Amino acid sequence: MNRSFLCRGSVALATAVTLVGLAQFGAVAPALASTSSPLPPGTHFFIPAPGSGALKQIAQLLVKHDAKDAGLIAGEVATPQAVWFTKGTSTQVKQSVHTTALESSLSKTVPTLVVYNVPGRDCSQYSSGGAGSDAAYQAWVSGFAAGLIKNQRVVVIVEPDGLANLPSDCPAAYPGQDVAAITAGRIADIKYAGQVITKADPMALVYLDAGHSAWHSVADMTTRLEAAGVANVQGFSLNVSNYQYTQNLEEYGSWITDCIAYTTSVAVGDTGNCGDMYWSGGPANNWTGAALSPSGQWSTTATDPTLNTAGIDSRYASILGSTQPTAHYVLDTSRNGKGPWTPAVSSSYPDPQTWCNPPGAGLGARPQADPTPTTYPLLDAYLWVKTPGQSDGQCNRGIAGSTTDPEWGGTVDPAAGDWFPQQALQLAQNAVPALH
C-alpha cells in the first residue's frame, strides 16, 4: 500500500493482557450545529481488542523476563486505533460493523472504521483482493453502512489508496481489460460508499483517502477527490499505512483544501493554479520556487528552500481572497514518528519500497482530536489508522526472484496484515513521543 512517486508465567501474562485491555472513557461528541469542530478536544477514541500476534509476543517477552519490552508492546496495542473491514458477505460485514459500533457506544468512545474492499485494490500487489465486481462491492458497502448505529459519531476512512492508486495508474495489473472503464467504476464505487455511509449515519465523519504528501500533486489529488464526491462527505485522509512527516502532511492537506475551494468556488476546474510540493513558487518568495524534499520537515520559516512552504501558502492566499476552504482532513500518525525512510546509497535496490516495512520507523503522535485548531483548523484529528505491528507485505526491495527482505536480516517478512514482532517492537522502542 501507499506507493510513493518519490520514490502497514500465566499470572504475568494475565497482568499484561489486563494492561492491554485498559480503555479510555469519555462522552461521545454530541451533534454539532457547525462542522468546524466535529471532534472536540478531549474526544476519546475506540481501542479494539489486541490481536493474537500481539498477545503472543507479550507472553514470550514476559517468559524471557523482558518486562520493559512487554510493556512497550502492551502500550502500543492499548492505544486507540482503527478497525479494518476487508472482506466477507454483506451480512457478515454488517454484523461485524454493528458489533464494533456497539462496543464503542458502550465504552463511550469514537471508533475509527476502515472500508477496504474495493475491486482490484492495491493494484494486485501485497494487499491485493477486494470484492469481485462493482455490484458486489456496492452490496458489501451497503452492508457496512447498515451495520452502523444511526446518529452515532464514528470516523470512517474509505478505501486507503483507492483514489491514489487508481487502475489507470497501474494498467499492467489489468491485462486485456478496459482500464478506463475499470477506473470509472472505482471512482463510482468510492463515491457510492461515501453516500451510503453518510445516509445510514448522518453523524459519521467520512474521509476519502488521498494518499500522502510525497505522492500525487495537489491538482491531481483534488481532481480525483472531487470526482469521488468529496464535497458530500467530511473530507479526506492522508498517510494511511505510510511514514511521511506529520508537518508535511498538515501542509499538503491544507493545500488540497485550498485547491478544492479554489476550483469549486473561485475558478471552477482551474487546477492549474493549485500549488504543491513539486514547485514552491509564490508571492512570498517572488516566484523563485524549488521542489520540496520529503526527507525533511517543511515550514514557512525553513532556511532551506527545499523545505520552505511560504511561497505555496502565499500563492493560495492570493488566489482564494476571501473564499474559505471547507473540506476537512485527518492524518494517520501511527508509524511516522521518525518520518520516511531513505535507504543507504550503497544498497542499490532496484526498488527500495520505502513504503514497505522500512527499518528504523517509530510510532507517531497519539490519536488526538482537533490537534492544531489555530494553524490547521480543518485538520480534524491525528489517528492511528494502520494497525502498528502489522506487516506491509513480503517486501523484497525490487530484487527479481527474491522472496526475502535484506533490510530485516534476509528473512521473509510476514504477509500484509500479519503481525510482525520485530517491527512491532522497533516501532514501540522508537516512538516519538516515547511510549510510557
pLDDT tens digits for range 58-83:
999 999 999 999 999 999 999 999 99
pLDDT tens digits for range 326-348:
999 999 999 999 999 999 988 99
State the pLDDT confidence band at 32, using cuts at 50, 70 and 90: very low
* pLDDT given at position 35: 44
Weakest-pLDDT range from 121-125, 175-179, 257-261, 392-396: 121-125
pLDDT tens digits for range 129-187:
899 999 999 999 999 999 999 999 999 999 999 999 999 999 999 999 999 999 999 99
* pLDDT given at position 36: 67
Taking domain 10-267+327-347+358-391+418-429, whether its CATH number is 3.20.20.40 is answered by yes
The answer on pLDDT for 28 being more than 50 is: no
Query: Where are the domains positioned within the chain?
Result: 10-267+327-347+358-391+418-429
Q: What is the mean pLDDT of the chain?
A: 92
Q: Say what percent of the chain tops pLDDT 90.
A: 88
407 contacts 359 by C-beta, under 8 angstroms: yes
pTM (whole model) above 0.75 = yes
* pLDDT given at position 17: 37
**More confident of the two residues 367 and 123:** 367
Average pLDDT over residues 265-291: 97
